[in-house]
């Protein structure tokens, strides 16, 4: 396939490299990031999109996605598919899908889970919203860049799945960290805490696969000075998206709301910017109840 790829940063760069390695022809455009080997550098987003069967975007947020969509949609050939893999608000995803449909294009919102490691290894999970036909067009590319692709429903359903998943992740990380901090104060050894909880009803991905306590459980950012990994500010971004969606949909999400507020304080007031999102554990360790 001829692919246009816009946004070749930490995630987009290795995703595009995997498409090239699988034999696809990729034209890329980014404001700053270098092109991976084998990706043809285009002079603009519109040039990268011209003649492409599929245009993939991997951008920081919904406002940037909307501005890039304004540039690429008029340049795309009828019947091609615009596939956004960024994490953005549900409204931007739906607006871009409607704009693409009006121009005779297919569209998918297909955010990912798996981080930079998954992007590099080609083991991402894609959660996609849009028409079944658009999903089938892009599926072979999902199979190269990832290990699983779920068609979640109509436009916006992929972003809905992503922000619900990450709301659970943020809430669970905080619960795991505060439980470790309480265990410390009760004199419970961290390894014993892990041994019990990881095989009891408190188990979770944050405990079992991404343990926030250094030296306990499988290797995680906690064993590397809490260098990300998944940065606290990206978790804050996703929690803000889930709260924005909850407000728009009139959904009651008190735990998500509190998690967003705790990550906001951590990032903005407590030097959490640039730390992994599991660095909530030293934050709780340093504090008392009052
Ligand atoms: P990044 O900042 O490394 O990459 C974004 C790229 O977009 C940058 O290279 C930037 O120069 C480029 N860009 C910005 N505006 C542009 C424009 N107008 N035209 C062309 N290029 C433009 O970010 P990332 O970590 O690659 O994340 C990308 C998206 O993936 C985000 O929405 C993020 O939430 C999501 N995501 C990230 C991770 C992760 O672990 N990093 C995991 C899952 C999802």
d(CA 59, CA 86): 5
Instruction: Tell which one of 32, 39, 60 to mutate to probe ligand 1, the residue whose CB is within 8 A of the most ligand atoms.
Output: 60
Give residue 257 CA to ligand 1 midpoint distance, Å: 25
Residue 183 CA, ligand 1 centroid: distance in Å: 37
User: How many angstroms from the chain centroid is the CA of residue 95?
Assistant: 20
208-222 average pLDDT score: 96
33 Cβ inside 6 Å of ligand 1? yes
pLDDT tens-digit readout, 119-160: 999 999 999 999 999 999 999 999 999 999 999 999 999 999
Instruction: Reply yes or no on whether the pLDDT at 226 is more than 80.
Output: yes
- CA 269 – CA 283 distance, rounded (Å): 12
In this prediction, residues 162-180 reach a mean pLDDT of 98
Q: What is the mean pLDDT of residues 28-52?
A: 98
User: Is the model's pLDDT at 115 over the cut of 90?
Assistant: no
Report whether residue 182 contacts ligand 1, using a CB cutoff of 6 Å: no
Ligand 1 contact via 92 beta carbon (within 6 Å): no
Report d(CA 87, CA 115) in Å as an integer: 12
Q: Are 177 and 275 in contact (CB under 8 A)?
A: no
Could you tell me if the CB of 31 is within 6 A of ligand 1? yes
What mean pLDDT comes out for the span 184-210? 97
CB of residue 217 inside a 6 A radius of ligand 1? no
pLDDT greater than 80 at residue 290: no
Cα-to-centroid distance, 164 and ligand 1 (Å): 20
- Residues 90-94 have a mean pLDDT of 96
- 162: annotated active-site residue: yes
Query: Is the pTM above the cut of 0.90?
Result: yes
> Does the interface predicted TM-score (ipTM) exceed 0.95?
yes
**Token digits for 102?**
């009006």
pLDDT at 214: 98
Q: Which of 162, 192, 219, 227 is catalytic?
A: 162
B/e letters for 12-49, b = 16+ CB within 10 Å, e = fewer, are bbbbbbbbbeeebebbbbbeeeebbeebeebeebbbbb
Does residue 212 have a pLDDT over 80? yes
Domains and CATH numbers, the chain: 2-154 (3.40.50.720), 160-286 (1.10.1040.10)
């Amino acid at each position: 396939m001829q692919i246009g790829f816009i946004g070749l940063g930490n995630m987009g760069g290795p995703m595009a490299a995997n498409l090239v390695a699988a034999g696809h022809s990729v034209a890329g455009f980014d404001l700053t990031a270098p092109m991976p080997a084998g990706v043809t550098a285009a002079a603009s987003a519109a040039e990268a999109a011209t003649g492409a069967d599929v245009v993939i975007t991997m951008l920081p947020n919904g406002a940037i996605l909307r501005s890039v969509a304004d540039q690429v949609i008029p340049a795309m050939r009828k019947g091609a598919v615009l596939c956004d893999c960024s994490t953005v608000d549900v409204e931007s995803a739906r607006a871009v899908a409607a704009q693409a449909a009006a121009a005779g294009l297919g569209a998918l919102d297909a955010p990912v889970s798996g981080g930079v490691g998954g992007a590099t290894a080609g083991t991402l999970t894609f959660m996609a919203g849009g028409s079944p036909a658009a999903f089938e067009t892009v599926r072979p590319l999902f199979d190269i860049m990832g290990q699983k692709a779920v068609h979640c429903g109509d436009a916006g359903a992929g972003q809905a799945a992503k922000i619900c998943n990450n709301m659970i992740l943020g809430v669970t990380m905080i619960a795991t960290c505060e439980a470790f901090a309480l265990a410390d104060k009760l004199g419970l050894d961290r390894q014993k805490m892990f041994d019990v909880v990881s095989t009891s009803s408190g188990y979770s991905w944050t405990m079992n696969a991404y343990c926030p306590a250094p030296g306990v459980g499988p290797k995680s950012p906690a064993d590397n000075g809490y260098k990300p990994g998944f940065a606290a500010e990206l978790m804050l971004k996703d929690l803000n998206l889930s709260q924005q969606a909850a407000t728009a949909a009139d959904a009651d999400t008190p735990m998500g709301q509190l998690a967003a507020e705790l990550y906001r304080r951590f990032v903005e007031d407590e030097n959490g910017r640039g730390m992994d999102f599991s660095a909530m554990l030293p934050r709780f360790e340093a504090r008392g109840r009052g």
